[in-house]
A and B are shown apart, each in its own frame.
Chain A
Amino acid sequence: MKTLIITIFLFLTLVSANFAQIVVSADGPISSLSEAIELADHGAHIVVESGTYRESQILITKKVTLTGVDLPVIDGNQSGNIFVVRADSVVIDGFKIQNTGRSYIRDYAAVLIEGVSDFEIKHNQIDNVFFGIYLAETKRGLVTNNTIHSYDLREASSGNGIYLWSVEDPVITHNTVSGMRDGIYLEFATNAQIYDNISNHNNRYGLHYMFSNGGRYDRNQLRQNGAGVAVMYSDDVDMTNNRFEHNWGSSAYGLLIKDIRNSTISGNRFYRNTVAIYSEGSTNVDIHGNDIELNGWAVNIKSNSARNRFTDNNFIENSLDVRTDSPRNNNFFDGNYWSHYEGYDLEGDGIGDVPYRPVSLFSMIIERQPESLILLRSMFIRLLDSAERIMPVLTPKTLMDENPKMQRISRIL
């Protein structure tokens, strides 16, 4: 009996030790996060009271849940990483994390997660950092509702907001990233789920895929980034319902796709970008049901792109519709709405009776003499374009939409 009581007592103390809450506060007995983690057992819940904690290289090597109360500030004092996660299933929730170190050799991050799985990084405000959230060789894991902002306007010396390197199945949602080099950068990531993020005003790309296959990015807002969004050397990516807006510059694109295959671009809105969609060496990509409005060029497709299908898109008042560098055409345009279409529909079936040729003579003139851009929308140019459309001589003969819609395609929301 006595032994039984002792056994139960021991068991209870063990349990309570395991699931104990450790409280960190600036003026309490435990005043540093590193100390709390040191004391904590596997699975412990560490509650951090509000206040400012000047700490960096906070090494997490056991499964813990870190929760901030009223956004405590973790200030890395411009040295090293701030959180380094090296255990599975760690949760970091509700901190203001600021001032990482900066280096030309090491990628210091507000939160560095290496070689682990199933973490949750959420509701943090990350400010003035080199890299924001850095995932390396992780599996699964969730990064959600974080805000990342920094102030270095130079592309070379700024880091990425959310950086994924060699990861599997990451979920990145509802984050807001600005003022970084790339807002969200995926290298060798597989099956990433990137939803509902806002990535604006970054120095290079709002979202950047390299060698990252599978997965989907959906409902993200990607606005006013230095070079827009780039998806390169990646296959089977679904790009849906995003907003690519206001990406301006001589090498800025709403969406740049380079050497990608078998992907889908649909339901997106491209608005006021210098080039809405730029394609180089991409094959078998479905560009379907997008609204492409008021961009400089709606599509710039290099001749090494093939078997891409542009269907059911609305091309609305783009300064120029399609640009290409070859008289041959290996891509397919069908059933789009082109606001520049001047044809007629005698049959009344909602489809224009004459094909639309989206490559205008003027866009080829600009190619040769870029200064002539100043003549955009000139009556003289419109006459030239109309003549060329009736009797194509210089523009690609086979690049045309045989079934141009007469009316803007409405989208059911």
Chain B
Amino acid sequence: MKLLTHIVKNEWKSLLRGKWVIGYGLIFLLLTDSLLRFGGGGAETLLSISNVMLLFIPLVGMIYGILYIYQSKEFVELLLTQPINRRVLYWGLYLGIATPLMSAFIIGAALPLAWHNILLLDGSSAALVLGLGGILTLIFVALGFVLGLFFYDDRIKGFGFTIVIWLFLAILYDGLILLMVFAFGNYPLDRFVIIVSMLNPIDLARILVMLEFDISALMGYTGAVFNRFFGSNLGILVSGGMLAIWLALPSWIGLRVFNKKDF
């Protein structure tokens, strides 16, 4: 544990000095502040942030994760020759780079929300949006890590897959769902669309945003499965649980790859 915090602390220090992460936080700070300043109320601003978050955090997180692997190859190899457990080193490096990025988003967006009083007025909605952004950061940095470890010696391939995975999860996936819905429109599809949406972490986060802001629309739909899912706590519990699995899965795969890898 001491070793883990030692590694995490060191990563924080060198990332903060890199200013890149601070710049990233500043972007969210300026964005949130200007949204609030130019006429947006709490819900409007939070929804705009969540739109930006759902689109860009996955991309930034993955690129950031993979870039770290590529830029720190030699350093990581040096660390691997030290008398420490690979597992501890992995978690140290992962948490050490994912948590600063996560914090940059959360703090960057939360500060304007605080000084425009939204945190008090719409506290739970704000916490949800910021929390989801944080979780997405962790998930996609881990995915970037996995891709970096997988394509350790082939950066072009690594970045290529990053972009393709992002395009797929952030945009195309929902297009495919829509296509399926129209292709099999004569069958009851409630259960199907819910399950399929649960398999994409970006959709999961989007559904949790919907549960907060669009529940009135969701209740307008007559399907029993939908109503049971969205109308009770079931939706929140299942989506939250799936998101937790998504949080664990890429970082766990990353750990397995890291443990087995020949550097």
Give chain A's interface residues, CB within 8 Å of chain B. 246, 248-250, 252, 272-275, 293-297, 316-317, 319-320, 339, 365, 368-383, 406-408
Pick from A295, A296, A374: contact of B194, CB below 8 A: A374
Whether B181 and A379, one on each chain, are in contact in the complex, defined by CB atoms closer than 8 angstroms, is: no
Whether B216 and A372, one on each chain, are in contact in the complex, defined by CB atoms closer than 8 angstroms, is: no
Asked, given contacts A374-B194, A408-B39, whether A297 binds B185 with beta carbons under 8 Å apart, the answer is no
Pick from B41, B174, B175, B221: contact of A373, CB below 8 A: B221
Give chain B's interface residues, CB within 8 Å of chain A. 38-41, 43-44, 47, 50-51, 54-55, 170-175, 177-178, 181-182, 185, 189-190, 192-194, 197, 203, 206-207, 209-210, 213-223, 226
Pick from A273, A365, A370, A381: contact of B216, CB below 8 A: A273
Whether B178 and A319, one on each chain, are in contact in the complex, defined by CB atoms closer than 8 angstroms, is: no
Nearest-neighbor residue (CB-CB) of B220 within chain A: A274
A320 to B38, CA, bound (A): 22
Whether B220 and A249, one on each chain, are in contact in the complex, defined by CB atoms closer than 8 angstroms, is: yes
Asked, given contacts A249-B219, A274-B220, A319-B217, whether A380 binds B190 with beta carbons under 8 Å apart, the answer is no
Whether B193 and A248, one on each chain, are in contact in the complex, defined by CB atoms closer than 8 angstroms, is: no
Whether B220 and A250, one on each chain, are in contact in the complex, defined by CB atoms closer than 8 angstroms, is: yes
Asked, given contacts A317-B44, A371-B189, whether A378 binds B218 with beta carbons under 8 Å apart, the answer is no
Question: In angstroms, how far is the closest chain B Cβ from the Cβ of A58?
Answer: 44
Whether B222 and A316, one on each chain, are in contact in the complex, defined by CB atoms closer than 8 angstroms, is: no
Whether B217 and A317, one on each chain, are in contact in the complex, defined by CB atoms closer than 8 angstroms, is: no
Nearest-neighbor residue (CB-CB) of B212 within chain A: A294
Pick from A252, A370, A381, A406: contact of B221, CB below 8 A: A370
Nearest-neighbor residue (CB-CB) of A276 within chain B: B216
Chain B residues, CB < 8 A from A373 = 217-218, 221, 226
Whether B216 and A369, one on each chain, are in contact in the complex, defined by CB atoms closer than 8 angstroms, is: no
Whether B43 and A317, one on each chain, are in contact in the complex, defined by CB atoms closer than 8 angstroms, is: yes
Question: In angstroms, how far is the closest chain A Cβ from the Cβ of B196?
Answer: 9
Whether B172 and A297, one on each chain, are in contact in the complex, defined by CB atoms closer than 8 angstroms, is: no
Chain A residues, CB < 8 A from B54 = 377, 379
Question: In angstroms, how far is the closest chain A Cβ from the Cβ of B129?
Answer: 12
Whether A375 and B220, one on each chain, are in contact in the complex, defined by CB atoms closer than 8 angstroms, is: no
Chain B residues, CB < 8 A from A275 = 220
Whether A293 and B223, one on each chain, are in contact in the complex, defined by CB atoms closer than 8 angstroms, is: no
Whether A378 and B174, one on each chain, are in contact in the complex, defined by CB atoms closer than 8 angstroms, is: yes
Chain B residues, CB < 8 A from A319 = 213-214, 216-217
Whether A379 and B178, one on each chain, are in contact in the complex, defined by CB atoms closer than 8 angstroms, is: no
Asked, given contacts A250-B222, A316-B41, A376-B210, whether A296 binds B55 with beta carbons under 8 Å apart, the answer is no
Minimum-distance CB pairs A-B, first 3: A296-B217, A319-B217, A380-B174
Pick from A294, A371, A374, A380: contact of B213, CB below 8 A: A294
Chain B residues, CB < 8 A from A377 = 47, 50-51, 54, 206, 209-210, 214
Question: In angstroms, how far is the closest chain A Cβ from the Cβ of B177?
Answer: 6
Asked, given contacts A317-B43, A379-B54, whether A297 binds B210 with beta carbons under 8 Å apart, the answer is no
What are 13 A-B pairs at a CB distance below 8 A?
A249-B219, A250-B220, A272-B216, A296-B219, A317-B43, A368-B185, A369-B182, A371-B192, A371-B223, A377-B51, A378-B203, A379-B171, A380-B175
Chain A residues, CB < 8 A from B203 = 378
Question: In angstroms, how far is the closest chain B Cβ from the Cβ of A77?
Answer: 39
Chain B residues, CB < 8 A from A249 = 219-220
Query: Counting chain B CB atoms within 10 Å of each CB, which of A275, A319, A375 scores highest?
Result: A375
Question: In angstroms, how far is the closest chain A Cβ from the Cβ of B179?
Answer: 10
Asked, given contacts A320-B217, A378-B203, A383-B171, whether A372 binds B178 with beta carbons under 8 Å apart, the answer is yes
Nearest-neighbor residue (CB-CB) of A410 within chain B: B39
Question: In angstroms, how far is the closest chain A Cβ from the Cβ of B23?
Answer: 24
Chain A residues, CB < 8 A from B185 = 368-369
Nearest-neighbor residue (CB-CB) of A319 within chain B: B217
Query: Counting chain A CB atoms within 10 Å of each CB, which of B173, B174, B192, B222 scores highest?
Result: B174
Chain A residues, CB < 8 A from B172 = 380
Whether A372 and B181, one on each chain, are in contact in the complex, defined by CB atoms closer than 8 angstroms, is: yes
A317 to B46, CA, bound (A): 10
Nearest-neighbor residue (CB-CB) of A316 within chain B: B44
Whether B206 and A378, one on each chain, are in contact in the complex, defined by CB atoms closer than 8 angstroms, is: yes
A382 to B171, CA, bound (A): 10
A275 to B41, CA, bound (A): 21
With contacts A272-B215, A296-B216, A371-B223 known, what are 13 further pairs, Cβ within 8 A?
Answer: A250-B221, A317-B44, A319-B214, A320-B217, A368-B185, A372-B177, A373-B218, A376-B214, A377-B54, A379-B51, A380-B178, A406-B39, A408-B40
Pick from A295, A375, A383: contact of B177, CB below 8 A: A375
Question: In angstroms, how far is the closest chain B Cβ from the Cβ of A254?
Answer: 9
Chain B residues, CB < 8 A from A273 = 216
Whether B223 and A370, one on each chain, are in contact in the complex, defined by CB atoms closer than 8 angstroms, is: yes
Nearest-neighbor residue (CB-CB) of B231 within chain A: A248
Question: In angstroms, how far is the closest chain B Cβ from the Cβ of A145?
Answer: 31
Whether A381 and B174, one on each chain, are in contact in the complex, defined by CB atoms closer than 8 angstroms, is: yes
Pick from A274, A294, A320, A374: contact of B197, CB below 8 A: A374
Query: Counting chain A CB atoms within 10 Å of each CB, which of B174, B203, B213, B220 scores highest?
Result: B220
Chain B residues, CB < 8 A from A383 = 171
Whether B174 and A375, one on each chain, are in contact in the complex, defined by CB atoms closer than 8 angstroms, is: yes
Whether A339 and B44, one on each chain, are in contact in the complex, defined by CB atoms closer than 8 angstroms, is: yes
A181 to B223, CA, bound (A): 25
Whether A374 and B217, one on each chain, are in contact in the complex, defined by CB atoms closer than 8 angstroms, is: no
Question: In angstroms, how far is the closest chain B Cβ from the Cβ of A120?
Answer: 39
A320 to B216, CA, bound (A): 11
Nearest-neighbor residue (CB-CB) of A366 within chain B: B221
A375 to B181, CA, bound (A): 11
A407 to B41, CA, bound (A): 11
Whether A294 and B43, one on each chain, are in contact in the complex, defined by CB atoms closer than 8 angstroms, is: yes
Whether A296 and B209, one on each chain, are in contact in the complex, defined by CB atoms closer than 8 angstroms, is: no
A379 to B205, CA, bound (A): 13
Nearest-neighbor residue (CB-CB) of A375 within chain B: B174
Question: In angstroms, how far is the closest chain B Cβ from the Cβ of A78?
Answer: 35
Nearest-neighbor residue (CB-CB) of B41 within chain A: A316
Whether A369 and B38, one on each chain, are in contact in the complex, defined by CB atoms closer than 8 angstroms, is: no
